[in-house]
Amino acid sequence: MGGGALGRVVRSGVGRRRVQTLVIAVATMMAVAAAVVAGSLMVATDAPFDHAFARQHGPHLTATFDPDKATTAQLAATRHLEGVTASAGPFPSTTISPVDGNGGHLPSLTLVGRADPGGTVDELDLKSGRWPRKEGEVVLSDSFSGDFLRLGSTLKSSADADAQTLTVVGFALSAGQSADMWATPGQVRALASDGAALASQMLYRFDSAGTKSRMANDRKKIAAALPAGALTGATSWLDTKHQANRNASVTIPFLFAFGVLGLVMSVIIVGSVISGSVGTGLRRIGILKAIGFTPREVVRAYVAQALIPAAAGIALGVVLGNLLALPLLADTESVYGTVSLSVAWWVDVLVPACALLVVGVAALVPALRAGRLHTIEAIAVGRAPRTARGRWAHRAAGRLPLPRPVTYGLASPFAHPVRALAMVLAVTFGTVAATFAVGLTQSLNAVGAADDPQNRADVTAVTGASGGGGPQRHQAPAGPQQAPAASGAGEQTPADPAAVRAAIAAQSGTASYYGTTEGDATVPGVSGTVRATLYQGDSRPGAYEMIHGHWLSGRGQVVVPTAFLERTGTEIGDSVRVTFEKETVSLRIVGEAFDSSNDGMDVHADLASFTKAAPTEFHIEVKSGVTPAAYATKLSAAVRPLGGDAFAESVQEGGGMIVILEAMAALLTLMLVSVAGLGVLNSVVLDTRERVHDLGVCKAVGMSPRQTVGYVLASVVGIGVVGGLVGVPAGFALHGYVLPVMGRAADTGLPPSVLDVYGTPELVLLGVAGALVAVLGALGPAGWAARVRTATALRTE
C-alpha cells in the first residue's frame, strides 16, 4: 500500500466530506481563539507589571514620614537595616488639589520633589517632555496625559486666588506609582510653606517582599527604627500590583468559561464527525481492508482526516485569538505605558499543541472502532442501520395526532442514539453560551448603570468651594462642558450653600435635589486617606446599589464598599471613626455599597453628622417636560452672581472595559452557536445521506417535497427542545457562578440588580432558541432532501 496510497485515502476522505471538514475546522478555530484570548489575559495579569516593576527597580515599600519627628539623617540610616537591599530618598512630599485652566478640580495629587528621574529605586520612565529644572515646572503621571492636559498646560496649585501656577513640562511613568506629580525639591517645599503639609518620602527594596506578611514585617522594622509616630503611611507594592492588574483579572473568569465551553464542544463535534464518518463508511472501511490496508493504517487514515481540517482551524484560531486579544491587552497596556503587551509566544505554541492533542484523542476513539471492524462484516452491513434500533420510538410517535412525515421524523434520531446525543450536546452547549452571554451583557449594563449615581442627576449646581480640601466629583481633567465656571470659578468668592439651595428651591422646574461635598478623610486601620462623600437632604436619587444593608437614612450612619469592609475587618453594624476636616465622628455602618471607585476605599455619610462640613454641589432632578439645559441656564443666571454655577449633566457612556467585555461575549457566543448549528448540520447531512434510499421509497408512495422538509426538520426539533431545556438552566447556573467570581476579582460584592437579570420571558425565548438553532442547522439538508429526485434516491445504496 505504502504511504502514497494512505495519503490518497486521507485526501479523498477530506475532499469528499466537505461539511464534516468545515465543521471540524470551525469548531477548532473557535476553541483555539477563545483559549488564546484567555491565556494571553492570564499572562497579562502578572507578567507586564513584574516586567515594568523590575525594569524600573520599583519600590517594594513607599513610606511617608513626618519630618518633625524623623530627621534626614535618621531616615538615611534606615537604608542599612537588615533586609533592605536598596533605598532612595528622603524626598520632600506634599499633597495638593490643583485646578486646571478651565477651573476643573483634579483629584488630590501626591507631589514629590526629585532632582532627576533616575536612581537605584523607582527609575522613572519619562514618556514625553523633560524633567523640571526650576520652580513652576512639574511632571505629571502619564495617566493624566490626554486632550485636556498636554505639554505646556498650566495648573493652579489650588483653588485659592493666590495659588502658584505650575506648567506641565513632561509626563512620566512610575510602575510602583510612588507619586502623581514630580517637581524640584525647592518647589515642593515652597508649596508646603503656603499651607500644604510637608512630608518626607522614602522608597525601599527588600531581599524578600513576596507576601503581605513579609511586607508587614518590613514596615514594622522601619517604624521601630525611628521615633514613635514618625511613619505616617506606607504603600506595599503588592497592593499596587493588585490594583493595576484588577481590570484584566475581571475578564479571566468569563473568558475561561467560554474557553471551556468551546473546548468541550470541539471534542463533542470532532468525535461526532469521525464517529459519523465511520458509521456511514462501513463499506468503504471493509473495501480498504479487503485490498490490504491494515487496522493500524485505517486508524491513521481516520485520525488524519480529522487532524488536517483541525490544523487549518487551529492556525486560523491562533490568528483570530491574537486579534481579539489586542483591545483587551491595550486596556491593560495603558497601565504600564511603554511595556510592550502582546500575546506571549508560548501561548501561541501551547494552545495549538493542546488543541491538536485534544482533536487527536477525540478522533482516535471512533477511529479505533473502524480499525477493529471485520472486513466481511463491514462490507455486508454497509450503510444500513441496525433494524432493531428505534422501532419502539416509531410505534410511540405513530400514536401522536400529527402528520405521518412529522412522526417519522420525530422517531428517526433513535435509530442512531450516539449521533442524536452528540446533537443534543452541541445544541445544549450552544444554548448555555447564549444564556450565559445574555445574562452577562445585562449584568454588565447594570454595572454601568450603577456606576457614579450622582451622574444620574439632570443638573448639577456648584458653590465654587472645595470640600474638605479634597477632590470634587469631576476628578478627571474637566472639559469645557464640565467646568464649574469658564471665567475662573476658583478665583472668586464661593457662594453660600444656603443661598444656592434657596435659588434651587425657587426654580419652578425643580422636582427634587440633594447636596454633597467630597474630600479626604482618615479612618483608623487604613493607611493614607479615604474619599468621603457627605450627603445633605434626601439622597436616595443618588444612592449606590446596595449589596447588603440599606442606604443612608439619618445622621450617624455610614455606607461603605466591600473593599473597605475587608481592609478594615469590619461588618455592617460596626462603628468606625471618620475624621473629616479635622472633625472626628463615630459612625455606624448600615450598608455595603456597590462602589469600586477609588479602589473601594470610600465612605458615604450624612452631612449632618459633621458640624463643620457644608455642601459644595447640589444634584437636581427636573420636572417632567422641563429641559435640563434650559433649567441649567436659568439656575446659572441666578447663582453666578452669588459665586456659584450650574450645568446640565451630559449622558454618560459605558466604560471601555464594559464595552469590550460585551463585544467579546457577543462574538464568542456567535461562534459557539454557529458551531452548534454546524454540528447539527453535519449530523443531519449524515442521516439524510444514509436514509436517501428510504426517502426515495417515501417519495415514490406520495411524500411531497414540503412533507420531506417537514420530516427532516422534525428529526431535529425534539433534539433542539431537549438541548434548550437542559442548556438554559445550565447557562443560568453558569452566570450565577461566574459573575460573583468576577466581582471578587474586582474586590467587590454584587448587588441583586447585577445578579438577578433574567426574566421568565427571556428564559423561555432562550429555550426556544435551542430548537431554532437545530432547525437552522437542518435547513440545508432538508432542502437537499426535498430536491433529490425519486429515481436517483432509489438507485442510491
Q: Are residues 49 and 197 in the same domain?
A: no
Asked if the structure places residue 689 within a domain, the reply is yes
Asked if the structure places residue 287 within a domain, the reply is yes
Q: Are residues 442 and 490 in the same domain?
A: no
How does pLDDT run across 752-778, given as a tens digit for each residue?
888 899 988 989 998 888 888 888 888
Name the residue among 197, 219, 206, 178 with its Cα closest to residue 89: 178
**170 three-state secondary structure:** strand
Candidate from 37-46, 177-186, 440-449, 464-473 with smallest mean pLDDT: 464-473
| Predicted confidence band of residue 290 (pLDDT cuts 50, 70, 90) | confident
Asked if the structure places residue 230 within a domain, the reply is no
Asked if the structure places residue 220 within a domain, the reply is no
Domain boundaries, position 422: 389-451+656-797
**156 three-state secondary structure:** strand
How does pLDDT run across 47-76, given as a tens digit for each residue?
567 777 888 888 999 999 989 899 999 999
Residue-level pLDDT at 281: 64
Q: Are residues 438 and 547 in the same domain?
A: no
What dihedral angle (degrees, nearest 10) is formed by the CA atoms of 771, 772, 774, 778? 130
The C-alpha angle with vertex 683 and arms to 679 and 684, in degrees rounded to 5, equals 115
Element (H, E) at 296: helix 295-336
Q: Are residues 589 and 685 in the same domain?
A: no
Q: Are residues 194 and 258 in the same domain?
A: no
Q: Which residue among 145, 180, 208 closes a domain?
A: 208
Asked if the structure places residue 324 within a domain, the reply is yes
Rounded distance, CA 768 to CA 727, Å? Answer: 11
Q: Are residues 52 and 157 in the same domain?
A: no
Q: Are residues 443 and 463 in the same domain?
A: no
Asked if the structure places residue 344 within a domain, the reply is yes
The cell for 324 is 481579539
Residue-level pLDDT at 106: 67
Q: Are residues 38 and 74 in the same domain?
A: no
Parallel, antiparallel or unpaired: strands 557-561 and 583-593: parallel
Q: Are residues 555 and 585 in the same domain?
A: yes
Q: Are residues 611 and 470 in the same domain?
A: yes
Candidate from 308-312, 484-488, 618-622 with smallest mean pLDDT: 484-488
Q: Are residues 615 and 689 in the same domain?
A: no
Stretch 442-465: mean pLDDT, rounded? 79
Q: Considering only residues 617 and 469, tell me which one the structure prediction assigns the higher pLDDT.
A: 617
How does pLDDT run across 658-701, given as a tens digit for each residue?
666 777 777 777 777 777 777 787 777 777 777 777 777 777 87
Asked if the structure places residue 157 within a domain, the reply is yes
| Predicted confidence band of residue 470 (pLDDT cuts 50, 70, 90) | very low
Name the residue among 698, 673, 651 with its Cα closest to residue 775: 673
Stretch 314-320: mean pLDDT, rounded? 89
Q: Which residue among 383, 412, 430 closes a domain?
A: 383
| Predicted confidence band of residue 493 (pLDDT cuts 50, 70, 90) | confident
Domains identified in the chain, total number: 4
Q: Are residues 717 and 795 in the same domain?
A: yes
